[in-house]
A and B are shown apart, each in its own frame.
Chain A
């Protein structure tokens, strides 16, 4: 189709009431840009600058030494367990909240938000209180030779706790906006519950799900506070990437610290790009087919 303007009005400058004067506009833009560069862009550049200060070889050595590799591996393991679990939980919780009415629904909604409102350090401490040596079930765990605190399971638990809201929070408004008529239609047409989930519900939320997963993954890999409490900082064993950065920094090994930090920064940049790409798709999916 060719776009031909239907009404070519005379070039009289028509002023929109919400339009600010150029002076005001540029001041605002400049203010926002300088704030962003100072507080976001500058640190980001600094990370890569410091990391590469002594050249590529030192950089590569810092991120390939055994302890760093162990930290990368642990971070990946924690994310690989936490993200799929939250994926399943997020879909189940969002499905329940968006499509059904039940007693205690508002409590469930608040519980999902809890990790957002509780300090991660407190979250970590709760796990120490429960599973630690002096904790509620600590003695029982020790008798059976199981260790959760200061070990990988504790790190996974803490990671799951802080990332619980991401996927559910993303899906609930999307599913609420879409309503449950399509599911009703599918069931009337003879589809089973699983067929309805697989062919109707999941395709309708796929972009929102991906968006939530990206955010969830970013948080899972970058989490510091909660993990720091339960980890015990055993090099090569219970150190995640962010904990490893801290240790290196405390040892005045700045170049290595920044080198490892640059990996996290890189992850953030990739997340940002993916997020932007997916965001447009989410908006499209929400608006489409809504009685338009």
Chain B
């Protein structure tokens, strides 16, 4: 099932939840809608499901306009953040619900329902809980039942609204891997909403980064992480260092550091910001001929294979502390200690000319 979204907009009073959204979800793909709260990701999911109606725009399922199609006829499976299991029904009845409410002609008979529900409960590995009530289950178990319930009606699309948002960190990690595996087995077109960038990067085939009702970037986890389209995506995905500098005729300056910036050969003395990931910062004790920035070590966190250094720059190229990540071997080799003077240079750096520090990203 392909989902296409054309020029979708939605207002809540004076708040713009969705601003001219265009998106295509490919068949069998697991797509993540990622963004901070208030970015419109949940609204978009609910519009796709039919739980909300957009002010303008279209939602197409397999090139068929379903903007005015009733929820019941959309054949979507929906998983809620807080599970929304029917509290007055047993687990078995919860999963069977979608089959039992079908019109008499399409309704499977009791043994068929029995078979199907048992099958689904085995799929989510909770068949031993069939006779319990939702309140007797843990959060992780409830969410797996919610998934089984959504799958019972054989939906053509599976929509998940922050499915692991209410769970604790350990269970969340387990369920993440489990969902990925389940999707690989079933290949059902799925869209899930999350504000957790790690979750999106780990689980999704493609990520849609949203902010203030707009799509900032669409791409594979690798693309959005390695080639963020703009400062917002950069700051939202992973740790990043921010530097202020200038761009002029194909060159960029950050303090004393000069970097080639051929893509900005036309630029005439523009102010710019530059982003560098902590693991893209090279740390050395001496200036070996190449340009570098002087800094001193404020704090060292040496747990695990990666050593994390907190550095303070000499000038004001960076408003905050600079974070660098180096390997343990490199750390031992340099024999670094707190207060030491070092020289840093970015291995890879992304420039965005003419951007104010934070805010007005567009």
Contacts and interface: CB of A to CB of B under 8 A. Distances in A.
Interface of A: 181-182, 184-192, 195, 199-200, 203-204, 288-289, 291-292
Contacts of B101: 186, 189-192, 195, 199
Interface in B58-101: 71-72, 76-78, 80, 82, 84-89, 97-98, 101
Contact of A189 (B88, B153, B166): B153
Nearest to B161: A181
A185 B87 contact: no
Nearest to A288: B135
Contacts of A191: 72, 97, 101
Interface centre among A185, A188, A191, A195 (most CB of B within 10 A): A188
B77 to A, nearest CB: 8
Contacts of B78: 184-185, 188
A207 to B, nearest CB: 10
A181 B97 contact: no
A189 B82 contact: no
- Shortest Cβ-Cβ A-B pairs, 9 listed: A289-B87, A189-B98, A181-B84, A203-B88, A191-B101, A185-B84, A188-B78, A288-B135, A195-B101
Contacts of A189: 97-98, 101, 149-150, 152-153
Contacts of B342: none
12 contacts: A182-B84, A182-B87, A184-B80, A185-B86, A186-B97, A186-B101, A188-B76, A188-B150, A189-B98, A191-B101, A204-B88, A289-B87
Interface in B29-64: 49-51
B231 interface: no
Contacts of B80: 181, 184-185
Interface string B154-170: 00000000000010000
B218 to A, nearest CB: 26
A154 B255 CA distance: 90
B88 A190 contact: no
B102 A190 contact: yes
A184 B166 contact: no
Contacts of B87: 182, 204, 288-289
A289 B135 contact: yes
B144 to A, nearest CB: 15
A103 to B, nearest CB: 13
A184 B84 contact: yes
A190 B135 contact: no
A192 B101 CA distance: 8
Contacts of A195: 101
B86 A190 contact: no
A200 B134 CA distance: 14
